[in-house]
Structure 1
Amino acid sequence: MRLLLATILILLSIGCSNETITEEIILIEPDQIQEISFINKPGRVTIVFNESRGVDIIVWTKDLDPLEDYEIALVYNDKNGGVIFGPEANLEIKIGNIEGETILHPNHNGELYVSMLNPERIFTGAEQMKIEISTINKQKVIESYPFRF
């Protein structure tokens, strides 16, 4: 009987909780490799933080529309700043291609794999960051979980 009562009390306390789940901001430290998932989309962001080289941000995703044009942005503090991936000289594109300075095209399977090396100073002062992939019409299609340095 005590076990049944204890079980009921535990279930009621869990079910009646008013706590909301908040997104945890992933902390990235020097000389660390961190993988960050996209929210409800396949793919990932890999961040390689090397104090002597900078911060390499690698973005891999699939299931994009192969006929659509996209931009990848590193967004600071809920869109109060950021960096758009590009130009081509600053990128390493393994899957997909680039047109102009920042317009990226996935391959015929909807896959895109691109990386950009950034100086550490561009991350200074940002409380949180996310990677966003948007159409060139600024419609966000993919967003990563938040992170910070």
Structure 2
Amino acid sequence: MALDKERYATQVAENITPLLSPTYSYVSLLAKEGAMKKAVLPLIVLLAFTAYTAFAMSQAEQSLIDFGIELMSDLDTAQVVIDLYILAALACIWMYQDNKSRKKPFIAIVPYIAITAVFVSIGPLLYLVVKGFSKEQGAGAT
């Protein structure tokens, strides 16, 4: 009888000790919430801007290429387009370096770079959303 109480007390202590540890589930819970919070804003912006882009393209009277050529024909609008593509290049460099630091293959970011080349901000936004939700799944597994 005394052995059973001792064994029970040991089992309770073993089960409670991790719960009392400051790094136990609180860290994974905070990591989940942090990843979710990081993904929510880019997701909202991505959905809103993608919907707006799709609507604008459906109403456009010219192709995307013709529109780009027209924008590049004037100095003032060409400056804005060049500025956007400089930012797009910087975003691609950031995605590449982030992907490399996460030890993922280059092919993993090719779709994001291709989307960035055409739609500029949609590629990095999509990358942030996918990255945010993949961190959430990783945090839940540990």
TM over 0.5: no
Choose between structure 1 and 2: higher helix proportion: 2
Structure 1 or 2: more strand by fraction = 1
TM-score band (shorter)? under 0.3
